[in-house]
A and B are shown apart, each in its own frame.
Chain A
Amino acid sequence: NAGVTQTPKFQVLKTGQSMTLQCAQDMNHNSMYWYRQDPGMGLRLIYYSASEGTTDKGEVPNGYNVSRLNKREFSLRLESAAPSQTSVYFCASSAYFGDQPQHFGDGTRLSIL
């Protein structure tokens, strides 16, 4: 009964380092999402994949790249981490894009020094 699984749960990086956040879902959902959550800013969409083989930019895509590896997995990559990317990152999935509720993973707490 895993739902959406994110790894790692915590990570500390130095400025300029790269990192990939992993996300996998076992609900056979078509759509997957990456959000960041900052105090006072709420959840903001970084990238989404409406279906396997497609990816699109969200509200705050700069500094990130994504890969929809297969229907289950959607990864988020920081190529050159910056302190402004310190945040809590959530992956989510939904059956279809748009009018379906999203199910969230437990989040990755990322600090960049």
Chain B
Amino acid sequence: QKEVEQNSGPLSVPEGAIASLNCTYSDRGSQSFFWYRQYSGKSPELIMFIYSNGDKEDGRFTAQLNKASQYVSLLIRDSQPSDSATYLCAVHSNTGNQFYFGTGTSLTVIP
């Protein structure tokens, strides 16, 4: 079982819709969770991070964390074609003090 799992997609949504990206993790002791966006051929760039259960909003992005279910998600409201990219979920695992990334979900926003 991988430490961090994401659906690889591709996920396609029409412009203006809500895109929902999901991530599960295996280490129940994990405390820090990050979402990165990666355009093809580029490096990952941070979108959001979340530490506490519940929702955290930043502009069109909302991160949701449920530690009991070991689940973290990213919602993108009013999706734009420029949001088309691969979204990476990352978790800091207290077990062994390691960082784990999921394989990413490819999102395409259709104009």
Find chain B residues with CB under 8 A from A104 CB: 43-45
B84 to chain A minimum Cβ distance, whole angstroms, is 19
Find chain B residues with CB under 8 A from A105 CB: 43
Q: Pick the interface stretch among A16-24, A37-45, A72-80.
A: A37-45
Choice from A41, A42, A101, A107 contacting B88 with Cβ under 8 Å? A42
How many residues of A are counted as interface, with CB atoms below 8 angstroms from the partner's CB atoms? 24
Which residues between 57 and 106 of chain A lie within 8 Å of chain B, taking CB atoms?
58-59, 90, 97-99, 101-106
Find chain A residues with CB under 8 A from B31 CB: 98-99
A41 and B98 within 8 A (CB): no
Find chain B residues with CB under 8 A from A59 CB: 98, 100
A41 and B51 within 8 A (CB): no
* Contact bitstring B43-67, A, C-beta under 8 A = 1, else 0: 1111001010000000000000000
Q: Can you list 16 A-B contacts with CB-CB less than 8 angstroms, sorted by A residue number?
A: A33-B99, A44-B101, A56-B97, A58-B99, A90-B44, A98-B31, A99-B32, A99-B92, A101-B46, A101-B49, A102-B46, A102-B99, A103-B46, A104-B43, A104-B44, A105-B43
Choice from B43, B51, B97 contacting A90 with Cβ under 8 Å? B43
Find chain A residues with CB under 8 A from B34 CB: 101-102
Choice from B44, B46, B88, B99 contacting A45 with Cβ under 8 Å? B99
A43 and B88 within 8 A (CB): yes
Complex-state Cα separation, A35 to B97, whole angstroms: 15
Which residues between 25 and 58 of chain A lie within 8 Å of chain B, taking CB atoms?
33, 35, 40-45, 48, 50, 56, 58
Complex-state Cα separation, A97 to B98, whole angstroms: 10
Interface residues of A (CB under 8 A from B): 33, 35, 40-45, 48, 50, 56, 58-59, 90, 97-99, 101-107
The 6 closest A-B pairs by CB, nearest first: A42-B103, A43-B101, A104-B43, A99-B32, A101-B46, A42-B101
Considering only CB atoms, which chain A residue lies closest to B2 in the complex? A42
Complex-state Cα separation, A40 to B44, whole angstroms: 16
Complex-state Cα separation, A98 to B46, whole angstroms: 15
Find chain B residues with CB under 8 A from A45 CB: 98-100
Q: A90-B43, A104-B43, A104-B44 are in contact. Are A58 and B92 (CB under 8 A)?
A: no
